Structure 1
């Protein structure tokens, strides 16, 4: 597929705008509590659907990432923000939204000794305290391989531990900044050993130059690390300075990936052009109940 043909997105990537009352209410709430969401910062294509359905993914530790991954739209630089009251504001917003499933992620904060793990743990505990019936999912960075940081998060007992592998091993160094393919697998495997009752989850984005067999090998590597929930989605170029799209996969190809993932033993596979790590996260939890056992 030529680069020119990639200028126009296929029909299945068209997004329906839903900027009704729920969308406006959630946006206003986030601003009033000075909270960030990965929905906005990463230019997620599902923001209209998710916010219309009163679901959002909180992004803690500020809006500036210490890494500069070539696929990600989040601001990069040296962060100055560290708000110890942020966990309570996240919990207040989750309570006001009446969430049944709360997803908490963050920018990478490599300049912090614990990588922000204590704020993650505080946010999990705060949400669980205010909403005892709400499940909490964390989408964490790799903490540069710091085992104690991972332990700090797991001791807060999130219901799902999510860490994205993003792409196949051959392309990992080109696509991601500082993160390492084998370090990701090690983190996921270590999580399963530290907290075997907490299911692990990961995500692959396609369209950055990978081959089908490499995607299948990545699935095998994730399964070997004990991952039970998998999401696969289409990479979309946030700006001209980011990686170009090498291919737009068809819905049929995503259906094939889902079938291959289920054959490999994943409890739940969410695979589609607009799928992102937190897309239909609540449904994933319900579908994959018992995945940590």
Structure 2
């Protein structure tokens, strides 16, 4: 009797999908976000964050309907542990949005940029301490150089350091928790938005009853506020996909793209001066990024050399 070999499962025939395209897409959108925030500068930060949440949920629900993921959303809602983690991540991302929007509107563009330059250091430390990811000697050198850059801010930019650290730790912890909870990217974002909906609607209603709502009076401004939902949901969805598919330490150092774009915008569009401590911090963190990327490239090149077949 002839033996037949069972076909290999699809997962064995094709490599796992890469998170790199999603990560690059998310960070490019976040990098240019200050240009959008200029257009909605008339909206107070608290109110704007509230409207971002209100308009993010319908978009998420629409995408869930198109992708047929209602079952995943329902399963998440029944999972007590997942709901607890998503309640924390929803709070973290709301804090991150609020501080970032306030910083841009207040002209603290470089503090915001530094926050997302520091974030890779936070990601590396969290990936090492919590996920057990191992760093090479060169990667530890990169972490040390970045730490020196942060320390420089203590001497010359202490008044804005809280902005940078809040952005770095809130988003770093958000990404770590999203990586550890067994919930898909889109269902998780949908549930996060639903958790924040009632508080957000309350904030929007309070502004409408006291200072007057920014939404509904000027058609152009109202359309821009609605666009905030799109610019919130799409990059967060991409980031959640990337966080589930990539090493958290590697993802953290790809993130330098967004703050680099913000840094360039600060020098050009916002025309903000750089203080000496900020210059020193940027140089140190850029050097750290260069060392880390060099290490990743060297190890990838060595791995390709090992896999190359030997001629016989």
TM-score class, shorter-chain normalisation, is under 0.3
TM-score normalised to the size of structure 1?
A: 0.24
TM-score normalised to the size of structure 2?
A: 0.23
Relative to total residues, which structure has the larger strand share, 1 or 2?
1
Relative to total residues, which structure has the larger helix share, 1 or 2?
2
- If asked which structure has higher relative contact order (CA below 8 Å, sep 6+), I would say 2
